[in-house]
Amino acid sequence: MGKSIWAASLIATIIGVTVNVPLPDTVYVSIAFAILASVVTWKTLPRLAMTFVEARVSGVDVLKRDRPLLPEAMGFPTAVIYLIAMFCFIPFPFINWFDGEARLVHEDNPMIGTFPYHKLGQILSAILAIQSMVLLGFADDILDVRWRYKVWFPAVASVPLLIFYYTNFGVTHVVMPLQLRSLLGELVDLGPLYYVYMVMLVIFCTHTINILAGINGIEAGQSLIIALSIIINDLLYMCNNTDRESLEAHLFSLYFMLPFAGVTAALLAHNWFPARLFVGDTFCYFAGITFAVVGILGHFSKTLILFFIPQIFNFIYSCPQLFRLVDCPRHRMPRFDSTKRLLQCSTVIIKPSNSLRAKLGRLILKILYMLGLLKVIKWDDDGRLVECNNLTIINLVLARLGPMSEVNTTRTILGIQVLSSLFAFFIRYKLVQYVY
- Name the site residues for ligand UD1 (rule: CB under 6 A): 59-63, 72, 210-211, 213-216, 275, 278, 281, 331-333
Q: Of ligand UD1, Mg ion, none, which one does residue 215 interact with (CB within 5 to 8 Å by kind)?
A: ligand UD1
Closest approach of ligand UD1 to the CB of residue 147, in Å: 7
Q: Which is nearer to ligand UD1, 60 or 112 (CB)?
A: 60
214 binds, among ligand UD1, Mg ion, none (CB under 5 to 8 A by kind): ligand UD1
Minimum CB separation of residue 269 from Mg ion in Å reads: 20
Per the CB < 8 A criterion, the answer to whether 26 and 252 are in contact is no
d(CA 393, CA 310): 8
Residues with Cβ within 8 Å of 96's Cβ and at least 6 positions away in sequence, in order, are: 102, 103, 104
As measured in angstroms, the least distance from the Cβ of 350 to ligand UD1 is: 17
Compute φ and ψ for 377, nearest 5 degrees: -90, -35
Smallest gap from residue 278 Cβ to ligand UD1 (A): 5
**Closer of 82 and 315 to ligand UD1 (Cβ):** 315
Helix orientation angle between 25-54 and 2-18, rounded to the nearest 10 degrees: 160
Report how far residue 102's alpha carbon sits from residue 426's, in angstroms, rounded to the nearest whole number.
Answer: 39
Answer yes or no: are the C-beta atoms of 206 and 133 closer than 8 Å.
Answer: yes
Distance in angstroms (rounded) separating the CA atoms of residues 272 and 278: 10
Cis bond upstream, residue 274 (ω within 30): yes
List the one residue out of 419, 378, 370, 372 whose CA is nearest residue 400. Answer: 372
Sign of CA pseudo-dihedral 244, 254, 159, 115 = negative
Question: Of 216 and 303, which has the nearer Cβ to ligand UD1?
Answer: 216
- Interacting residues of 295 by C-beta distance below 8 A, sequence separation 6+: 201, 205, 301, 303, 304, 305
Indicate which of Mg ion, ligand UD1, none lies near residue 278 (CB less than 5 to 8 Å, by partner kind): ligand UD1
The dihedrals phi and psi of 47, each to the nearest 5 degrees, come to: -70, -30
Residue 211: which of ligand UD1, Mg ion, none does it interact with, CB under 5 to 8 A by kind? ligand UD1
Find which of Mg ion, ligand UD1, none residue 27 binds, CB within 5 to 8 Å per kind: none
| Closest to 335 (Cα-Cα) out of 375, 394, 413, 376 | 394
Q: In one letter, which amino acid is 393?
A: I
Distance CA 117, CA 221 (A): 36
Nearest-CB residue to ligand UD1? 59
- Rounded to a whole number of angstroms, the minimum distance from the CB of residue 128 to ligand UD1 is 24
Sign of the dihedral defined by the CA atoms of residues 13, 19, 25, 26, in that order: negative
Q: Of 27, 65, 2, 90, nearest to 336 (Cα)? A: 65
In the complex with ligand UD1, the residue whose CB is nearer, 137 or 160, is: 137
Q: Which residue number, 219 or 234, has a Cβ lying nearer to ligand UD1?
A: 219
Nearer to ligand UD1, 60 or 367 (CB): 60
Instruction: Specify the residue, 13 or 395, whose C-beta has the smaller distance to Mg ion.
Output: 395
Q: E-strand spans in 82-198?
A: 173-175, 187-189
Indicate the length of the chain as a whole number: 436
Which residue has the closest beta carbon to Mg ion? 281
Residue ranges in contact with Mg ion by CB under 5 A? 210, 213, 281
129: CB partners within 8 A, 6+ apart: 157, 158, 159, 160, 161, 289, 293
Report the alpha-carbon distance of residue 323 to residue 350 in Å, rounded: 15
Q: In this complex, which beta carbon is closest to ligand UD1, that of residue 260 or of residue 336? A: 336
Which of Mg ion, ligand UD1, none has residue 234 at its interface (CB below 5 to 8 Å by kind)? none
Q: How far is the CB of 51 from Mg ion (least distance, A)?
A: 21
- Rounded distance, CA 55 to CA 48, Å? 11
Identify what 333 binds: ligand UD1, Mg ion, none; CB under 5 to 8 Å per kind. Answer: ligand UD1
227 binds, among Mg ion, ligand UD1, none (CB under 5 to 8 A by kind): none
Residue from 220, 211, 186 nearest 331 by CA: 211
Least Å distance, CB 77 to Mg ion, is 17
Q: Residue 281 or 406: which CB sits closer to Mg ion?
A: 281
* Shortest separation between residue 412's beta carbon and ligand UD1, angstroms: 15
Q: Please report how close the Cβ of residue 414 comes to ligand UD1 at its closest, in angstroms.
A: 13
Residue closer to ligand UD1 by CB (options 93, 217) is 217
For residue 249, the partner it binds in ligand UD1, Mg ion, none, with Cβ less than 5 to 8 A by kind, is: none
- From ligand UD1, Mg ion, none, interface partner of 361 (C-beta below 5 to 8 A by class): none
Q: How far is the CB of 50 from ligand UD1 (least distance, A)?
A: 17
